Every structure is written in C-alpha cells, then in structure tokens.
Chain A
C-alpha cells in the first residue's frame, strides 16, 4: 500500500512498539486508532486460525487477529493482560492481539534497515524493515500484509 510513501516526507516516523511472543514489533502510529484490553471475541465460522473472532467496537464489528499466529509464531495463550491494537487501514478496521504495548518512538527513516535476506517467506511478506534499538531488533510490520484478506474482495 502507499502507507510507507505517505510518511517518508516526514523527518521522523512515529512508531508504536509492542511485544508478540518474545519478539519486538512496531507499526506506524498513523494506522493505530486505539489500544484496548482483551475482551472475548465471538468466534467466526470457517475463519483462518489466526482470526480469533469479532468484537463490538462502539457499534462496529471488528475482527481480531492473533498477530503471533499471523506472523507464524506459536498461538497466543489468551489472558486478561493481553492488549488489542485497533488499526485502520484504508476502509478496514482490524484489531491485533499483542502481548503488551511498549512505547511510542520516533525513528528517522534512514535508520530503518531492509529486512535481512535470510528470513523465511512469512517474514519477508510481513516485515517491511528492521530497526536497531538499544541492543534489540524492532521489526516494522507491513500492516496491509497482515490484515485478514477480505473474503471475495481479496486485496491486491
């Protein structure tokens, strides 16, 4: 999508960082609408295993994606301490289940390194780049790639 192009003109990209599994990830703050605690979702039949179901977000029906499962990590063991990051991409609103939200940081675009080439297929699909931060590696998620594909209107 064009999200990346939209922000390159900015001096710094603001990113929301969070933990999934034991790894650090981040997404552009532009896409984040709100962060809320986990509430049980209503199961959707015939859904892929990373779709936990749908919740009511002030009258809107929002699907919840287990980000760990989506990224090919082990399934999240659900607990009250988990957090849902509500993201809006184009017209689609989706909630992502993460372990915990860590911080909001500003990163100069030049600090975002290309994803190392050795990674697996799923990683290449979902990770836009990596950022070195205090001995840790932050993985920048391509938000449009992790969205559940709209049934019958598959995103190109």
Chain B
C-alpha cells in the first residue's frame, strides 16, 4: 500500500515538473507569437509531451477526469503541431486556460478531491471549437507521412473512422510488461476513454500445464473498438508499453472482410509491428521523459509524426540538453547538512583564533593550509546553500494561473508579465511566499486594475498589466507586484480608516502614511464583497506573513498610474558576509551586502540640522547619520564625532544612511543563528552569530535600525516612486 502511495506521490511530483514545462512551453509560444516569429516545433512538441505524459500517468492511477481532459487538450495540441490549427493568440489563450484546468485536475487528483462532472467543460468546449476550425491541407499532411499508406485514416476528419465500423486490436503482453509494473487492464481502461470497447481473451496460445510458466502471460486479447479517434490516439495509449507487447491494429478498411475475430489476419505494416516489439531500451528507461515519443515517431509508419526523422534526432539531443538529471532528497537531510556546515564555518573561525592565540609562527605551509581550509569550507557552504535555493519560476507560474483566474472572476482582461524568473531563493522562503503573493496578485487584479471602460476613459490601453518581478539586491531578494491601474484612492482609504476608527478623524497623514493604512488589521476597501477579495483576509495578514520570513513589505502608488507592492526578503536563512564592528564596546555584525562604502569624515563634512540631527556630506550628497550605539541604547546620547567610522548603507528604497560605529574589526562570513526561538525579535537586530572566540554577536538589520531612530529625529523620507513607472 505504501509503495503504491509512494509511486502515486512520485507521479504527482512529476506532474508538477511537467506542468511547469507545459507553462514554459506555452510562454515561449506566446513570446514567439508576440515577436511575430514562426512557432517552434520543438516547443510545441515539448508542450504536447508534457500533456501526454500526464495523461499516461493519470490513466495508471485511474484519474479518469484528468485523463479525459488531458486527452482533449492533447488532441488540440496535436492539431497545432501538425499545422492543422494555426497558432493565434486566441488559440494560445485557450491553451493557457486548458493548462490551468489541467493543473487544477492534477491538484484535485493529488488531494483526492472529487471533481465536478462538468469540470473544465467550458475549456473542453473551447478546445473542441478550436478543432472545428482547423484547416486540413492534404498535400502538407502527405509530405509529413514517412511511409504513405493507403489505409492511413489520419488525414480524415474526426468521426469518419466510426462510420467504417469497429477497429480490431490484437494485443499480446510480453513477460517484461508485467515486471515493469504495467497491467493490461489500465491500458484497456484508457482505451475505453477513447471509445466503446469489447475485450475478448484469446486463450489459444496457453501451453500445456506442465510447460506453463506461471510468471508469464500466455493470454492474448482481442479488442473491438468503436471510436471516432484517429488510430494514432490508440497507439498512444500503448506508448508506455512500447516494446513490451505486440499490438496489431486493423482499421476497418483493411479488416472490412474480417468483421471480428477472424483468423486469417494479415499483420499490418511490418515495420509497425516488429519495430515496436524490438523498440530500443531507451524508450523504457524513460517512460515519461522525452525519449519515448521520439523513438515511436520514427518507428510507426502509420503515425503521422510531423517531425521527419532527421529533426527527430536533433530533438533527442535538445531534450538531453534541457532535461537535467535530478535527485529528490528529503529536505530534513539538507537542513541537517546545512547545520553541520554552519558549525564547520564557526569551527574554522575558532581554529584561526586558536592559532593566533597560541602564537604559532605562521609558516607558509600552515597559512596556505588554513587558507585552503577556509576556501573549502566556503565552497561546501555555497554548494549546500545552492541545494536549497530554487528559482522562483514555479512560484511565478503559479501566480500567472492565479492572475488568470482572478481576471476571469473579475471580468477583466489582464496581461500578466514576469521578470527575473531565474532568481534563486531559499526553498522555504518560496513556499511561504505562495499565500501572501496570491493575495497581493488577486488584489492587484481586483482592486488595482480598472474596468475596461474606465481604462479607456483614462486614455489607457484596454488591457491592464500586472507585473511580477524578482531580483537580487543588497543581499536580499526583492519581489515586486506592479499594476498599471488607477493607483490607491487615498481619499477613500483615509475616510474608510476614519470610519472604522482605525485613525482619529482629525489626523493629518502624508501620502505614504495613508498607503500604509492598508496594512492595518480589519481594513478592506472593496466597495462590494467580491469573490476575490473581502474574504476576511486583509493586507495585515500578508504583512505579518512576510515579516515572519524576515521580510518587509512596502507600498508605493501613483494616482492614475498604478500601485507597486514591494517585498524584500533575506536570500538565505543561514549565512551571510558580515563586517564585524565595535558599537560602544559591543561587538556587532553589519551585513556587508548592505554596506555601500565606509568613510571616516573630516570635521568639515559633518553638518548639524535642526532637531539634533546630523548629516555627513559625501560627494555633495547629505546623508543622515544614525549612531548605532544610541539606537541600541548602549549610549545615552547620539555621538557624531569624527572619531567614529561611518558605514554608508542603502535601504531597500535607495535611501542612504550613515551608520556610526566606533571601530571596524574584521570582515568575515558568519553563520546566522536565530534569536526568535529562545528569545524573540529584537528591533534593529536581524539575528545573532557566534564569533571565533565563542561569543555571541548580534547581526544588525540596518533598515530596521534606522527606522527605530529615536523620535526626536524626523521620520525617514517617503520612499521614492520608482522611475520606471509611467
């Protein structure tokens, strides 16, 4: 039972990869369509294979709704790749919806949810409608068929086959079919999806009892099938057992003289029979991968593979290059490894310190080995971190789905764009971003974008755009969701906040402060409770989810031009490069990634401002000084003497600050140790670390530290509106 569950689980994991590949492919097609390029056959093939593999796996687990849908989808894709259906943006749109629906069905299958009988009916209808409009150019068809056969039913329209009577399938399983975990009953079940079947067992080749091999199957089956599907679809059912069985298909034309179980059956095209029996091993090694489709395409004369043999070969190469071999590892194991590596890094620091303390003369050999040790420790660490890091692509694809869904519900057309999909982030971070991002994107579509009429009235394009962006910046990951909608209606936000008693009625707030009201618990501006928003989950939940990840969220909005939600997150939860500094006698660590430069100003560079604030001039720019000793209450008064060293740091919003520290000790890699588990969050402190002497040092979160500047200093200026906004 558990093994079956394992296999099932594996199937769904693979489904996720396949769905990703499917989304990728469709995205590529859209790009090429946008650029007015020819569609790439390889891409279409990849898309087709993904759907096909999902269908195959789904059949094995009896997920009939999924099989049925995948099959319909596959047919349309097949039309596309055969050139029977031209690729237009409408077609692509339907394909995208179909991919969403497919993902939905896969998820339903995984969670054992019941699927409504009419699930995806609308999409199926659309797909069917597409197939009706397809064009058949017979000349073209012929040129694609490697061995033209008179009985080839493929250039015919659907349904024409049924008119000619039932197909006869002769199926005999080889021993290996069973040892490879297949079962004819699944194949027959899948056949039954394609049409009405009648299965008869043919026992005549069963040997005498004393010669019987109990592990072999001596039975063969005779299947009569009424179907409107092309013969090719039937071959596809047997794709996964290719080489493990002998299969003959009599098309009615051919078998018209022999209505059913006639004995005088002349085998169909030899190539089809024997070649499939002797299919190369590779097709079995990779049942769901790229191999099988290729080898079959070359072997089945009656399949109208649009890929001539030559390009089939190149496809194999391309497939091998893109499909990377992966190993699935339990996340706990990776985490344990990360912990040990963390200890190794600390240990290396301790060792260095010990050698220094013991005053051992640094011979070249010793220092070289020590350097090497450090380099290796770092390399191991980076390697281990890379295991945990994943690109945000699957997350973004999921969000694209959410955006489409939201757009449908809101009755708006939305163009969803992504940038920086390759940005890598820790797996845990990605997982925990799903819910907040879903919410933000729904909000952007539902509240952010205007209706088509409103957009037109405002002189904008009919279709609103929501852009999801990821980038690395200052050792953090920035994720932005931008819409080009109407921007925040600040007057309404303020009046609602006052109405709900969230702020006093006579309050005077700056624009950024009003925007921040959206993050208050119990705030919702939706005039009507729609299906999308107003589920009682507000932006405050989003913010707390982001904060739990050590992240921050900010909102910027321009009236009439749109709104941006920016999320800033730590890259990894394990290690960082830090500058070890002395702050009023305390050793602290500032993340190097946040430091732009360090300066030691001359007295003339310091200028006092009203309110006790001091700025330092750096190349004609005035940068406010924040004394860390004062912020952390190690000193009673802010010190701004020139004896201090100033670290220029840049916040997520390009605001500069000069952090005053007493001395810089060192630069080194430190292992991040959470304070949260045993103590809790300390304002201005991101985490702690352990130095070479075994002492704990606090790692400063510069952004938060400067925000906590005591109240006699003015609040930081509002974040600049990003320039790339219109």
CB of B107 within 8 A of chain A?
A: no
Knowing A42-B586, A42-B696, A43-B586, the reply to whether A63 touches B678 (Cβ < 8 A) is: yes
Residues of A with C-beta under 8 A to B677: 61, 91-93
CA distance A51 to B676 in the complex (A): 15
Within the complex, the shortest CB–CB distance from B688 to chain A, in Å, comes to 5
How many residues of B are in contact with the other chain, CB < 8 A?
29
CB of B296 within 8 A of chain A?
A: no
A45–B679 touching, CB < 8 Å: no
Knowing A44-B698, A55-B696, A56-B695, the reply to whether A62 touches B683 (Cβ < 8 A) is: no
A153–B696 touching, CB < 8 Å: no
CB of B191 within 8 A of chain A?
A: no
Residues of A with C-beta under 8 A to B374: none
CB of B632 within 8 A of chain A?
A: yes
B678–A60 touching, CB < 8 Å: yes
CB of A21 within 8 A of chain B?
A: no
Which of A40, A44, A53, A60 neighbours the largest number of chain B CB atoms within 10 Å of its CB?
A: A44
CB of B274 within 8 A of chain A?
A: no
A151–B632 touching, CB < 8 Å: no
Tell me which of B342, B346, B680, B684 contacts A45 (CB under 8 A).
Answer: B684
Residues of A with C-beta under 8 A to B676: 150
Residues of A with C-beta under 8 A to B690: 56, 59, 61
Within the complex, the shortest CB–CB distance from A154 to chain B, in Å, comes to 9
A42–B697 touching, CB < 8 Å: yes
B680–A151 touching, CB < 8 Å: yes
CA distance A93 to B632 in the complex (A): 24
CB of A54 within 8 A of chain B?
A: yes
Q: Using an 8 Å CB-CB cutoff, how does the interface string of A140-155 with B read, 1 for contact, 0 for none? A: 0000000011111100
CB of A47 within 8 A of chain B?
A: yes
A45–B634 touching, CB < 8 Å: yes
Q: Which residues B607-644 have CB closer than 8 A to chain A?
A: 631-634
Residues of B with C-beta under 8 A to A44: 675, 679, 682, 685, 698
Within the complex, the shortest CB–CB distance from A23 to chain B, in Å, comes to 26
B674–A61 touching, CB < 8 Å: yes
Closest to A152 in B: B681
A46–B683 touching, CB < 8 Å: yes
Knowing A55-B696, A56-B690, the reply to whether A46 touches B673 (Cβ < 8 A) is: no
CB of A84 within 8 A of chain B?
A: no
Closest to B347 in A: A59
Q: Which residues B311-343 have CB closer than 8 A to chain A?
A: 342-343
Q: Which residues A57-95 have CB closer than 8 A to chain B?
A: 59-63, 91-94
CB of B505 within 8 A of chain A?
A: no
CB of B148 within 8 A of chain A?
A: no
B343–A59 touching, CB < 8 Å: yes
CA distance A91 to B586 in the complex (A): 28
Q: Using an 8 Å CB-CB cutoff, how does the interface string of A120-143 with B read, 1 for contact, 0 for none? A: 000000000000000000000000
Tell me which of B587, B673, B694, B697 contacts A60 (CB under 8 A).
Answer: B673
Residues of A with C-beta under 8 A to B674: 61
CA distance A90 to B682 in the complex (A): 21
Which of A43, A55, A153 neighbours the largest number of chain B CB atoms within 10 Å of its CB?
A: A43
Knowing A44-B698, A61-B674, the reply to whether A54 touches B680 (Cβ < 8 A) is: no
Within the complex, the shortest CB–CB distance from A116 to chain B, in Å, comes to 33
B586–A61 touching, CB < 8 Å: no
Tell me which of A47, A59, A62, A63 contacts B346 (CB under 8 A).
Answer: A59
Residues of A with C-beta under 8 A to B695: 40, 42, 56
CA distance A45 to B686 in the complex (A): 12
Within the complex, the shortest CB–CB distance from A3 to chain B, in Å, comes to 18
CA distance A94 to B586 in the complex (A): 22
Within the complex, the shortest CB–CB distance from B76 to chain A, in Å, comes to 51
CA distance A93 to B698 in the complex (A): 18
Residues of A with C-beta under 8 A to B675: 44, 54, 61
Knowing A54-B688, A59-B343, A61-B674, the reply to whether A152 touches B694 (Cβ < 8 A) is: no
Closest to A40 in B: B695
Tell me which of B342, B587, B633, B696 contacts A46 (CB under 8 A).
Answer: B633
Which of B631, B680, B682, B688 neighbours the largest number of chain A CB atoms within 10 Å of its CB?
A: B680
B688–A47 touching, CB < 8 Å: no
Within the complex, the shortest CB–CB distance from B283 to chain A, in Å, comes to 51
Tell me which of A54, A92, A152 contacts B696 (CB under 8 A).
Answer: A54
Q: Using an 8 Å CB-CB cutoff, how does the interface string of B345-368 with A read, 1 for contact, 0 for none? A: 010000000000000000000000
Q: Using an 8 Å CB-CB cutoff, how does the interface string of B688-715 with A read, 1 for contact, 0 for none? A: 1010001111100000000000000000
CA distance A45 to B627 in the complex (A): 14
A56–B696 touching, CB < 8 Å: yes
B673–A42 touching, CB < 8 Å: no
Residues of B with C-beta under 8 A to A93: 677-678
Q: Using an 8 Å CB-CB cutoff, how does the interface string of B666-677 with A read, 1 for contact, 0 for none? A: 000000011111
Residues of A with C-beta under 8 A to B673: 59-61
Residues of B with C-beta under 8 A to A47: 682
Residues of B with C-beta under 8 A to A42: 586-587, 688, 695-698
CA distance A45 to B343 in the complex (A): 26
CA distance A106 to B312 in the complex (A): 81
Residue contacts A-B, CB under 8 angstroms, 22 given: A43-B586, A43-B634, A44-B682, A44-B685, A45-B631, A45-B633, A46-B632, A47-B682, A54-B696, A55-B696, A56-B690, A56-B695, A59-B343, A60-B678, A61-B674, A61-B675, A62-B678, A92-B677, A92-B678, A148-B679, A150-B680, A151-B681
Q: Sorted from nearest, which 3 A-B pairs have the closest CB atoms?
A: A151-B680, A45-B632, A42-B696
* Known contacts A54-B679, A62-B678, A151-B681, then 7 further A-B pairs from the complex at CB < 8 Å, ordered by chain A residue: A42-B688, A46-B683, A56-B696, A61-B688, A61-B696, A149-B680, A150-B680
